[in-house]
Structure 1
Amino acid sequence: MDTTNSTVFIPGATSGIGLALALRLQQAGSTVVIGGRRQALLDSIASEHGLDTVQVDVADADSIRQAAETVLAAHPSLDTLVTMSGIMRNEDLRDPAHITDAVEIVETNLVGTIRLIDAFLPHLLGRPSATVMTVSSGLAFVPLTATPTYSATKAGVHAYTQALRQQLVGSSVEVLELAPPAVATDLMGGQDFGGMPLDAFIDEVVGLVESGAAPEILVQNVLPLRWAERDGTHQHILEAMAGTGH
């Protein structure tokens, strides 16, 4: 992925990691379109930063199709999709009422990722060089007890990304996976998880992308989670995160 000369669509980029990445790619020289559900927020970001925007709800198939049509009509040179959208909620699995949250999380994080890729992949396969970057999480590898469905969807995104990458071997589309650690954002209403500062995270991510790191974009802070199974530390980290609430 060329950070200086790409045309990028990032749904789920009205705040947090998504917006920070969008602004950094714009600063590097790429054309960036961001998507989100709230039109007023999109308008504000467009006015402040000069980013192109499109309204999209990744939990709604029709919304994704309409957004794809809008983005591709305005930016036929689009060559990069970053599936940033995601929601994270605490769940008490002893309470059957959690299923409402669980279904919404699966619909947004996993099914939304699949639908976004479906909507843009035919176009990307027609480009001389293109990139799909999915966004999983360190919690794909060691789940956070308090957010079981979120963790499960990110494990699903990881597996789906691996299969997509293998299916596209020999094509013009590179498939990357960004697996963030805990980062200080508003994902859980701004709760303090002791996450790494957003600017430091984005600095490291962009540096990795520019260095050609592939197929997984892994900052140093996420490595203990990514390799926990291999290193024999999985149960220890699982229990430690459950005990501290991180």
Structure 2
Amino acid sequence: MKTNGNTIFITGGASGIGRALAEALHQAGNTVIIASRRKALLEAVVQANPGMVSLVLDVSTADGIQSAAKEAITRFPDINVVINNAGIMQIDDAAAVLDDAQMLDILSTNLLGPMRLTSAFVEHLKTKKDAVIMYVTSVLGFVPLAPAAVYSATKAAMHSFAMSQRFMLRNSGVRVLEIAPPWVQTDLLNSNEEPRAMPLKPFIEETMAVLATDADEILVERANVLRSRPGPGEMAFVTEFNRAFLSGVSSTANPTDVRA
């Protein structure tokens, strides 16, 4: 991917991985529009990064996405990169009755949101040079974290969708990329000081380096151990992985990413 001179629209850009990635891209010489449902946080990020702009967006609603995409394209017609980063992670129990409202919230934000947003931008992106659609998924799309079963399932679904879309757009000039983070230290789920998680700064630095290559999957070194696990016999690894996570044992698996 060309890492400078783009006009980039990124969801979930007010905190965590989204903010750090937006700031790195801004510093690399891109015009960056950050979107989030939290206006106060957006304003704080823009104030800290002169030249960055923001737009309020709740990706869990179809109407909100259509309205925001229309406004973004009107105000910033040079947008050629759309990054689907917004997401929520909540603990659940797949061995019990799942909370329907919680499931709908996670699905609407993590799965329907990126699909709807991409759909709203895709025809515009087909007209742009160096166009990119990007999804920030998770290593949990390859190896699920059992206490966050619905979240993990949405990330697996987004990985599948990204591959289908990459094939369908193969002759369009629009590239489809996927960033699949390992567990990263952010403020969600009190992970800022979690020793098993990857510090945010080196994660962003390594991610930016891989983005500058021709890779379709943007993986830091820590993510590779989980990326390689799906296949015959994978349940044994999933079992070991989840037992280690629940017991608090340090593991190279780095079980999850927690983002906004």
- What is the DSSP-based 3-state SS (H/G/I as helix, E as strand, rest coil) of the residue aligned with 1:164? helix
The superposition leaves residues 41-67 of structure 1 with CA deviations (integer Å, 9 ceiling, x where unpaired) of 111211121220000000011111111
Give the letter for the 2:104 counterpart: V
**Residue 28 of structure 2 corresponds to residue 12 of structure 1:** no
Give the equivalent residue in structure 2 for 1:176: 177
> Structure 2 CA distance, aligned partners of 1:118 and 1:187?
28
Residue 82 of structure 1: CA displacement?
0.5
Please tell me whether the aligned partners of residues 184 and 191 of structure 2 are also in contact (alpha carbons under 8 angstroms).
no
- What is the DSSP-based 3-state SS (H/G/I as helix, E as strand, rest coil) of the residue aligned with 1:166? helix
> Structure 1 CA distance, aligned partners of 2:197 and 2:39?
29
- After superposing on structure 2, the runs of 4+ consecutive aligned residues of structure 1 that deviate more than 4 Å are none
> Structure 1 CA distance, aligned partners of 2:91 and 2:165?
29
Please tell me whether the aligned partners of residues 87 and 187 of structure 1 are also in contact (alpha carbons under 8 angstroms).
no
> Structure 2 CA distance, aligned partners of 1:37 and 1:119?
18
Give the letter for the 2:26 counterpart: Q
Give the letter for the 1:12 counterpart: G
| Percent of aligned pairs with the same amino acid | 37
Give the equivalent residue in structure 2 for 1:144: 145
Please tell me whether the aligned partners of residues 38 and 55 of structure 1 are also in contact (alpha carbons under 8 angstroms).
yes
> Structure 2 CA distance, aligned partners of 1:237 and 1:5?
42
Please tell me whether the aligned partners of residues 92 and 98 of structure 1 are also in contact (alpha carbons under 8 angstroms).
no
Please tell me whether the aligned partners of residues 8 and 78 of structure 1 are also in contact (alpha carbons under 8 angstroms).
yes
Q: How many residues align?
A: 244
Give the equivalent residue in structure 2 for 1:33: 33
Please tell me whether the aligned partners of residues 62 and 116 of structure 2 are also in contact (alpha carbons under 8 angstroms).
yes
Give the letter for the 2:90 counterpart: R
Structure 1 stretch 136-145 or stretch 65-74: which is displaced more?
A: 65-74
Once the two structures are superposed, the pairs formed by residues 164-203 of structure 1 within 5 Å of their partners are 164-190=165-191, 192=194, 194-203=196-205
Gaps of 5+ in 2: 247-254, 256-260
Give the letter for the 2:75 counterpart: A
- What is the DSSP-based 3-state SS (H/G/I as helix, E as strand, rest coil) of the residue aligned with 1:3? coil
What is the TM-score with the length of structure 1 in the denominator?
Answer: 0.94
What is the TM-score with the length of structure 2 in the denominator?
Answer: 0.89
Please tell me whether the aligned partners of residues 12 and 18 of structure 1 are also in contact (alpha carbons under 8 angstroms).
yes
Residue 189 of structure 1: CA displacement?
4.4
Please tell me whether the aligned partners of residues 94 and 147 of structure 2 are also in contact (alpha carbons under 8 angstroms).
no
**Residue 215 of structure 2 corresponds to residue 209 of structure 1:** no
Residue 236 of structure 1: CA displacement?
3.9
Gaps of 5+ in 1: none
Give the letter for the 2:25 counterpart: L
Give the letter for the 1:204 counterpart: E
Aligned-residue CA RMSD (Å): 1.6
Please tell me whether the aligned partners of residues 145 and 241 of structure 1 are also in contact (alpha carbons under 8 angstroms).
no
> Structure 1 CA distance, aligned partners of 2:180 and 2:161?
13
Please tell me whether the aligned partners of residues 17 and 186 of structure 2 are also in contact (alpha carbons under 8 angstroms).
yes
Residue 129 of structure 1: CA displacement?
2.5
> Structure 1 CA distance, aligned partners of 2:220 and 2:106?
25
Please tell me whether the aligned partners of residues 182 and 193 of structure 1 are also in contact (alpha carbons under 8 angstroms).
no
- What is the DSSP-based 3-state SS (H/G/I as helix, E as strand, rest coil) of the residue aligned with 1:133? strand
Once the two structures are superposed, the pairs formed by residues 121-136 of structure 1 within 5 Å of their partners are 121-136=122-137
Give the letter for the 1:116 counterpart: L
